[in-house]
Amino acid sequence: MVFRSRAEKSALAAGFHSGYELAVMEMPPEPPQVPPPGNPELPLPPPGPANEERTWALAAHLSAFAGHFIPFGHIIGPLIIWLVKRDSSEFVADQAKEALNAQISVTIYVAFAFLLVFVLIGFPMLFAIWLADVILVIVAAVSANDGKRYRYPFILRPVK
């Protein structure tokens, strides 16, 4: 403790002191500040695939819309993503393969419905297949972006 004068030192020794010196003297030493082992306030990263994997899986499903502009683009898009990512990411490979299988199935269904156009039932079937494909691709893309594996209903799975 540092004293400003000898009088202060002798007053303290005699038991007379101001409140400030008493407060300073009675405070216990502070323990060293150690950070807690984990910060419970920070959210944990979401379990499942990383953001990049989810983006690639999203692209695999949405690449089916390329078929609206490029002949067989709905098959080429998921096929390219599956061939590029099948060794590096199991989640992306699974979702690209699922999108590829779905689009192969849609192609088969459209070919069958096209044959039925001559019986006039093919026109509503073509529209129903197109509408179901658009809706299911959007649902699959949202699901893949959430990190969930999506399975298309009513499809063949020729690519294993």
DSSP 36-104: -SS-TTSPPPPSSS-HHHHHHHHHHHHGGGGGGTSTTHHHHHHHHHHHHHTTT-HHHHHHHHHHHHHHH
* Angle 32-38-39 from CA coordinates, rounded to 5°: 95
| Longest distance between any two alpha carbons in the chain, whole Å | 117
Domain ranges of the chain: 1-29, 51-145
* pTM of the predicted structure, to 2 decimals: 0.68
Reported as a single tens digit per residue, the pLDDT across 75-100 is 999 999 999 999 998 999 999 999 99
**Tens-digit pLDDT profile for residues 47-77:** 678 889 999 999 999 999 998 899 999 999 9
Average pLDDT, the chain: 84
How many angstroms separate the CA atoms of 55 and 121, rounded?
39
Query: What DSSP designation does 123 have?
Result: H
